[in-house]
Amino acid sequence: MKPGWIILICVIVILVAAIIALYFFGKKQEKKQAEQQEQLKAMAQNVSILVIDKKRMKIKDAGFPAVVLDSTPKYLRRAKVPVVKAKIGPKIMTLMCDEKIFPLVPVKKEVKAVISGIYITEVKGIRGALETPETKKKGFFKRNK
């Protein structure tokens, strides 16, 4: 056999092995995520909160407890996450918000929220429905991101 064919066969074998490994790794991660979602649902509490401020910021700068910062993987510590500062009863707390509902959270309004620990998973308006934000037209690079 020619050396070109041997190299091609080796590359194909390596690619097939990588695809198989990624498949099993993905299945393992799906199971892990499903368990975490069950834990979030089990610990969920319905709470009335007054949203003071919301923004995207790094976990280090958000003011979360040291336990949260220590349990976060190092590669995610620099990533910006949706953070909501809210008044729950007499306390003002910093909460992390789900990416899907972050645009729905109104600022300086009272809402009913489903909270699991320091994570907001769902919001509902107390007095009527929440206003959906206007969707802006995305640019070429944001659309492809």
Better-scored residue on pLDDT, 127 or 122: 122
Task: Give yes or no for a contact between 49 and 111, defined as CB atoms under 8 angstroms apart.
Answer: yes
- 104 lies in some domain: yes
- 81 lies in some domain: yes
- 19 lies in some domain: no
- CA 100 to chain centroid: 8
Say what the pLDDT of residue 14 is.
Answer: 97
- 76 lies in some domain: yes
- 87 lies in some domain: yes
Bridge partners (DSSP) listed for residue 92:
87
* Alpha helices for 43-87 (secondary structure H): 59-62, 66-71
The enclosing domain of 46 has a CATH number of 2.40.50.660
Query: Each residue of 26-65: pLDDT tens digit?
Result: 999 999 999 988 988 898 899 999 999 999 998 888 888 8
In degrees and rounded to multiples of 5, residue 65 shows phi and psi of -60, 160
Q: Which domain holds residue 96?
A: 42-125
- 18 lies in some domain: no
Average pLDDT over residues 71-89: 89
Say what the pLDDT of residue 62 is.
Answer: 87
Say what the pLDDT of residue 133 is.
Answer: 65
Say what the pLDDT of residue 113 is.
Answer: 92
Query: Each residue of 87-120: pLDDT tens digit?
Result: 998 999 999 998 999 998 999 989 999 999 889 9
Q: Per the structure, how many domains does the chain have? A: 1
Residue the block writes with tokens 């041997």: 6
- 136 lies in some domain: no
- 96 lies in some domain: yes
Sequence-distant (6+) residues with CB within 8 A of 108 are: 50, 51, 52
